[in-house]
Amino acid sequence: MTSRSHPERDCVESVQAVLDWLDGHDGVDASTESLDGAFALLADQRRRLLLTVMRTYGEELTLPDAAEEVAVRETGRKVTNIPAERVREVYLSLYHDHLPRLVDAGLLEYDQERDLVAPDAV
């Protein structure tokens, strides 16, 4: 028998916590399709980080500011210690991939003309 490393134990505990939460929320639409969609949205770390940034600030941010904050959280460094190319790469991936998915899901709003991201006011 092998002992589990801490990341594996954390994963198991996280899965168990989600399953416990689902068991306790019978009124929540927990159809397979809606759960699969939710897990697909949350599967990517960068999307989770963007959602966390927007929840932390709770107000509109420019997409460049949001990209900087996501890069800070990805690297664990101060923004002044992150190469501009890295922040640019984060911005482009948010703009072209992650942000449209989150907007389509109704989790964020985006004003392209002003390049502003806002948490959805649901």
Domain range for residue 89?
Answer: 46-121
Residue 33 in domain: no
Q: Residue 7 — very low, low, confident or very high, per pLDDT cuts 50/70/90?
A: low
Instruction: Using the predicted structure, report yes or no on whether residue 122 has a pLDDT greater than 70.
Output: no
Residue 12 in domain: no
Number of domains in the chain: 1
Residue 70 in domain: yes
Instruction: Using the predicted structure, report yes or no on whether residue 1 has a pLDDT greater than 50.
Output: no
> What is the per-residue pLDDT across 43-73, written as a single tens digit (0 to 9) for each?
999 999 999 999 999 999 999 999 999 999 9
User: Which CATH number is 108's domain given?
Assistant: 1.10.10
Residue 17 in domain: no
Residue 97 in domain: yes
Beta bridge partners of 122: none
Residue 16 in domain: no
DSSP letter string, 47-108: HHHHHHHHHHH-S-EEHHHHHHHHHHHHHTS-GGGS-HHHHHHHHHHIIIIIHHHHHHTTSE
Burial class, 50, CB count within 10 angstroms (exposed 0-12 / middle 13-18 / buried 19+): buried
Residue 30 in domain: no
pLDDT for 34: 78
The mean pLDDT value of the chain amounts to 88
Strand (E) or helix (H) holding 118: strand 116-119
- Is the whole model's pTM more than 0.85, yes or no? no
